[in-house]
Structure 1
Amino acid sequence: MSDMLRAPAEVKYAEELDWLESVDDGPKPFSWRLSPKMVRLFILGSERADGLDREIAPKWFGDRSFVERSIVTLASDRGLLLIGDPGTGKSWLAELLAAAISRNSTLVVQGTAGTTEDHIKYSWNVSMVIAKGQSRASMIPSPIMTAMEGGVIGRFEELTRATSDVQDALISILSEKYVSIPELDDDNIVFAKPGFSVIATANSRDRGVNDLSSALKRRFNFVRIPVVTNRKSEAEIVRFRTEELLRRHNIELEVPPTLLDVLLQSFADLRAASAAASGDDERLESALSTAEQIGVLEDAILHSTFFGARALTAAALAGSLVGSLARRSPEDLAILNKYWHGVIEPRSREESGEWTGFLEGGRQAIATLS
């Protein structure tokens, strides 16, 4: 792991997965490495009622029903589509599911405007084709085809970013469960083995980019992942990710609970203002997601560690928040300036504490960017 900038979930939690597999006596669909109950437990964490000899920490924070529906879908012959706003943990949930079920979450196709049919089927090693002709040996299988051959989970990120012809190619894979290779005379069909499925993600804000056809929608079970609005759950997510960052960088720095409350309250205020806005010019371009909160806090921690007094301050947190959310100039800066004067300033007078440093840090950051 020390040689990886970001280890996949099956590597990061390998010891835990090995242990769960060793004590798992539940029925496993197809070629699954863990039973559905253990998959859920790995993702959501253990409880005392589970009767395990060790505690399993939660890795995804959300409603249990979303995880259970996702697991049930993957045990069927339908694909799973996780859809929601940016930063709601769709990709992380998809990675955890693939890691727990297949011990391989890296068979991923990233949907973009440049994604082609080859990326989900196969391409050719040109030099081998010239030397020996077309054969299975000279074929380069896509991550999806590799998942089919292995009977494991394949992933497709940002499905609505892919063009319609790529989406159409996925329809045949999900419905027929095989890929034809017309260039070959023999051994020209790759059949999916039991256990194969596809987890796709889609950004609900990308609606209208490349809408999914009704035929493709029928091949998926939809699980909509909402924005986390529960204050306790959001705090757990931010704390969990921040602790990972501190461990990865070997940083010994405390995040005061009062500063975490300031961050959570600020995002709650800005979301409320965005929901009440009458036009796009009155809304921040940011989705104000939990993932963006984590990014703001990580930025403040690293800045404080490398350039500050090795202590997280309210001023550093405010500067990070303004710098991260002020993407459009002058629109976003005007919105943040209005928020700082209309909300943070009176709150600083009434409650003082960390809000005073937060007020000054935000004012300085806005003035610097204006």
Structure 2
Amino acid sequence: MSDMLRAPAETKYADELDYLESVDTDPKPSTWRLSPKMIRTFVLGSDSSDGPGREIAQKWFGDRGVVERAIVTLASDRGLLLIGDPGTGKSWLAELLAAAVCRNSTQVVQGTAGTTEDHIKYSWNVSMVIAKGQSRESMIPSPIMTAMETGTIGRFEELTRSTSDVQDALISILSEKYVSVPELGGEDGIVFAKPAFAVIATANSRDRGVNDLSSALKRRFNFVQIPVVTDKASEAEIVRFRTEELLRRHDLQLDVPPSLLDVLLRSFGDLRDVAATAGSDDERLESALSTAEQIGVLEDAVLHSDFFGDRTLTARALGSSLVASLARRTPEDSAILTKYLTGVVGPRSRQEGGEWPQFLDAGLDTLKALA
């Protein structure tokens, strides 16, 4: 993995997957590499009731029922749609599930305004078509078609970002389990899905109304809502888990003091409370204040401390990183952060001391620089 900036889950956790497959004695659907129980263990980590024989690390932090329903859906004829706010781990859960089921999580279509039907079905190698005509050899299958032909999982990220005609191209794939290729005709004119083929799609709940799903497409998906993590202990564990990955990736020998992690978590909690009571969009930060954004703030502070500091994470680096990361609109976001720092962090720094005074000073200094 040393030559990969980010290894896919099936590569990163290959040792765990190999082990779980070797000790898995439970029945499994069709060509699945692991049984449903072992997939749950791979995603959520081992406990005393699973008994895989060795410790399996928890990789996704969320409700057990969400993972179980997602696994059940993949064994059915319906597609799986993971829907939730930004930063709730939808894509990461989809990647882990694909890695556990078929050891391939890289068959991905990214939904955007520029996504076309070719990205879901197939396109053509123009030079080969000119030289030899249209054939299976000159056809370029999409990641979804490749998943159909191999009986594996195809992923569709940000489904509601793509236009309605592109979304509707999924209907026949999900219901009929084949793709017609009229240019070829004959036996090559239809590509049938093999057993265990499934589609995992993700959708941002904040994108509702951008390109709403048709009723026909909705009927072909099981919707699994991914809730925002509200438990402070769980959120702290997620941030800690991701931070350890970051430090390993960059080969950094830098500690994250628990006191600074607490400052970060409490700050985001305060700002979420502000957003919840805001009367208009101008009174809340543009940021979704997700767990993923907390990790981004901490990553920025850690790297800045390593590159330009004394290789020790400080409250000043964290305060500066938080403001710089969240002040996206001027003057709205700057005004909200100024009000928060002076009205909440200021009194807290006088009452509690600790890391808060430096965090406050750095935040205010960064706001002045941004003005």
* Structure-2 residue corresponding to 1:266: 267
* Structure-2 residue corresponding to 1:285: 286
Within a 5 Å distance, the mapping from 1:9-158 to structure 2 comes to: 9-158=9-158
Residue identity in the other structure for 2:308: F
Alpha-carbon distance in structure 1 between the residues aligned to 2:257 and 2:184: 63
- How much does 1:302 deviate? 0.3
* Structure-2 residue corresponding to 1:303: 304
- How much does 1:298 deviate? 0.5
1:156-211 CA-partner distances (Å, limit 9, x unpaired): 00000000110111011001000010001222110001100000000011111100
- How much does 1:311 deviate? 0.3
* Structure-2 residue corresponding to 1:356: 357
Within a 5 Å distance, the mapping from 1:212-231 to structure 2 comes to: 212-231=213-232
Alpha-carbon distance in structure 1 between the residues aligned to 2:199 and 2:185: 28
Alpha-carbon distance in structure 2 between the residues aligned to 1:275 and 1:356: 26
Query: Residue 221 of structure 1: SS of its match in structure 2?
Result: strand
Mean Cα deviation higher: 67-76 or 360-369? 360-369
Residue identity in the other structure for 2:23: V
Query: Residue 288 of structure 1: SS of its match in structure 2?
Result: coil
Which consecutive segments of 4 or more residues in structure 1 shift more than 4 A? none
Alpha-carbon distance in structure 2 between the residues aligned to 1:263 and 1:160: 32
Query: Residue 223 of structure 1: SS of its match in structure 2?
Result: strand
Query: Residue 179 of structure 2: SS of its match in structure 1?
Result: strand
1:205-238 CA-partner distances (Å, limit 9, x unpaired): 1111100011100000000111111000000000
Alpha-carbon distance in structure 2 between the residues aligned to 1:245 and 1:172: 41
Alpha-carbon distance in structure 2 between the residues aligned to 1:312 and 1:348: 19
Matched, 1:206 2:207: yes
Residue identity in the other structure for 2:258: P
Unpaired runs of at least 5, structure 2: none
Aligned CA RMSD, in angstroms, stands at 0.6
Query: Residue 173 of structure 2: SS of its match in structure 1?
Result: helix
- How much does 1:51 deviate? 2.1
Query: Residue 49 of structure 1: SS of its match in structure 2?
Result: coil
Alpha-carbon distance in structure 2 between the residues aligned to 1:355 and 1:173: 55
Unpaired runs of at least 5, structure 1: none
- How much does 1:52 deviate? 2.7
Q: Paired residues, what number?
A: 370
1:222-258 CA-partner distances (Å, limit 9, x unpaired): 0011111100000000000000000111101100001
- How much does 1:287 deviate? 0.1
Alpha-carbon distance in structure 1 between the residues aligned to 2:21 and 2:150: 19
- How much does 1:361 deviate? 1.0
Alpha-carbon distance in structure 1 between the residues aligned to 2:62 and 2:190: 40
Residue identity in the other structure for 1:335: I
Q: TM-score, normalised by structure 2?
A: 0.99
* Structure-2 residue corresponding to 1:171: 171
Alpha-carbon distance in structure 2 between the residues aligned to 1:102 and 1:51: 22
Alpha-carbon distance in structure 2 between the residues aligned to 1:202 and 1:348: 40
- How much does 1:142 deviate? 0.3
* Structure-2 residue corresponding to 1:181: 181
Alpha-carbon distance in structure 1 between the residues aligned to 2:120 and 2:105: 16
- How much does 1:115 deviate? 0.4
Residue identity in the other structure for 1:211: D
* Structure-2 residue corresponding to 1:242: 243
Query: Residue 154 of structure 1: SS of its match in structure 2?
Result: strand
Mean Cα deviation higher: 175-184 or 48-57? 48-57
Query: Residue 203 of structure 2: SS of its match in structure 1?
Result: strand
Alpha-carbon distance in structure 2 between the residues aligned to 1:302 and 1:242: 11
Q: TM-score, normalised by structure 1?
A: 0.99
Alpha-carbon distance in structure 1 between the residues aligned to 2:89 and 2:189: 38
Query: Residue 49 of structure 2: SS of its match in structure 1?
Result: helix
- In 1, are the aligned partners of 2:20 and 2:52 still within 8 Å (CA)? no
Alpha-carbon distance in structure 2 between the residues aligned to 1:340 and 1:334: 10
Alpha-carbon distance in structure 2 between the residues aligned to 1:92 and 1:50: 22
